Amino acid sequence: MSNKIISTKDNLQILHEDNHIIVINKRVGDIVQGDKTGDKPLSDIVKEYLKEKYNKPGEVFLGVIHRLDRPTTGVVVFAKTSKALSRLNESFKNRETKKIYWAVVKNTPPKPNDTLVHFLKRNPKNNTSKAYLKEVPDSKRASLEYRIFKKLDNYFGLEIQLHTGRHHQIRSQLNAIGCPIKGDLKYGFDRSNSDGGIHLHARKLEIMHPVTKENLVFVASTPNDVIWNAIIQ
């Protein structure tokens, strides 16, 4: 049974909003920025929300700073001013942000906690990245650390901290150690989730506010489904 909810300007899951930024808990199926599907991106939906809320004439400014894969959920921050956009772009590029993800995987990870380093090579034809243990031509170094924080009958809850931000990094690195993410057909899981999503969630994002310079921490609640609910119990 799918309980998929489509994001609209009226039901956005807003975690924080001030004059310079707006932070959203992204749902399964939301695309952060327009792509070749032509589906309406989350950035446009947030613009509609801002336009209506502040009764703005003309075009609303909204800057996309980072993305989450379409089947993934969790924290996404957008810039409402060009000043915030350039400063946040810089801070993400310099890895001054801290990102914590949660993933639900099948199979026991080799160790209860570990740092994984692979070299990821992207295949634009099928939009995947393959993880290699040694450097190969056109590959990029990818590093993350994980720890098991929950054991269920058939699954494990992992908390992941990213050190690099590569294409499909968590998905391909976890698959490379034999722990595909629940629902992720592209990376080794045997069946899809009913809502077309995968059990990968951007749980927490820590940033410095681009204008006030205060340290901000955003935590996104997990989707309401049986597995996530068991993980957070």
Q: Which long-range contacts link 87-95 to residues 24+ away (Cβ below 8 Å)?
A: 87/210, 87/211, 88/21, 88/63, 88/207, 88/210, 89/63, 89/65, 91/207, 91/208, 91/210, 92/65, 92/66, 92/165, 95/163, 95/164, 95/165
The rounded distance, in Å, linking the Cα atoms of 202 and 33 is 17
Positions marked catalytic: 69
Cβ atoms of 42 and 31 closer than 8 Å: yes
Non-local (6+) Cβ contacts of 152 within 8 A are: 227, 230, 231
**Spatial contact of 211 and 82, defined as CB atoms under 8 Å apart:** no
CA distance 99 to 160: 8
What is the rounded CA–CA span in Å between residue 164 and residue 171?
A: 13
How far apart (Å, rounded) are the C-alpha atoms in residues 32 and 100?
Answer: 18
CA-based nearest residue to 66, from 35, 89, 96, 99: 89
3-state secondary structure of 90: helix
